[in-house]
C-alpha cells in the first residue's frame, strides 16, 4: 500500500513539474513573439499611422504558420513629429505584399511609452 501511494505522489509531482515548465515556456514564447505587448498596446493605445522603413525576420514562427517579423517604422502620431520605433508581429504570408517598405500601416502607440508601438493589422 505504501509503495502504491508513493508512486501516486511521484506521478503527481512529475505532472505538476511538467505543467509548470510548459506554462512558463508558453509565457516566454508569448513575450518573444510580440503578441502580449501588442494586445496591451492595442487595448489602450493612441491610433496613428506609420510607414514601414524596414522588415527583418526573427527566425520565429507562430503555430508553424505565421512568421514573426521585426518592423522598423516611422510613426506619425496625431499630435507631434514623426519618430522611429521597432515592433514585432506575427504576420500572414498572404499579407506580405502589402507589408513592404514604403507602405503605410495603422498602429497603436502606448500612452505611457511612445517607443512601444503595435501594428493595427491584426487584433490580438
Closest by CA to 118, choosing from 85, 93, 96, 95, is 85
What pLDDT shows up at residue 108? Answer: 95
As to burial, measured by CB atoms within 10 angstroms (0-12 exposed, 13-18 middle, 19+ buried), residue 90 is buried
Fold exhibited by the domain 34-119: OB fold (Dihydrolipoamide Acetyltransferase, E2P) (2.40.50)
Give the per-residue pLDDT at 122: 77
Per-residue pLDDT at 74: 98
pTM of the full structure? 0.72
Query: Could you list the pLDDT tens digit for every one of the 124 residues in the chain?
Result: 556 655 555 555 545 444 444 444 444 444 456 788 888 898 999 999 999 999 999 999 988 889 999 999 999 999 999 999 999 999 999 998 989 999 999 999 999 999 999 999 877 5
Instruction: Quickly list H helices, the chain.
Output: 2-32, 35-44
* Predicted local distance difference test score (pLDDT) of residue 51: 98
Please report the pLDDT score of residue 63 as a whole number: 87
Q: For position 101, what pLDDT does the model report?
A: 97
CB 44 within 8 A of CB 75: no
Q: How many helices (H) and strands (E) does the chain have?
A: 2, 5
Ranges of each domain in the chain: 1-32, 34-119
Q: What is the pLDDT of residue 8?
A: 57
Amino acid at each position: 500500500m505504501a509503495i502504491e501511494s508513493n508512486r501516486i505522489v511521484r506521478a503527481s509531482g512529475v505532472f505538476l513539474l511538467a505543467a509548470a515548465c510548459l506554462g512558463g515556456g508558453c509565457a516566454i514564447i508569448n513575450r518573444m513573439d510580440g503578441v502580449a505587448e501588442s494586445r496591451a498596446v492595442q487595448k489602450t493605445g493612441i491610433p496613428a499611422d506609420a510607414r514601414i522603413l524596414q522588415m527583418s525576420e526573427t527566425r520565429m514562427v507562430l503555430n508553424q504558420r505565421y512568421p514573426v517579423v521585426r518592423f522598423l517604422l516611422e510613426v506619425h502620431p496625431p499630435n507631434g513629429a514623426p519618430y522611429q520605433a521597432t515592433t514585432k508581429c506575427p504576420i500572414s504570408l498572404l499579407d506580405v505584399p502589402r507589408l513592404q517598405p514604403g507602405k503605410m500601416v495603422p498602429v497603436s502607440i502606448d500612452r505611457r511609452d511612445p517607443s512601444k508601438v503595435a501594428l493595427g493589422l491584426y487584433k490580438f
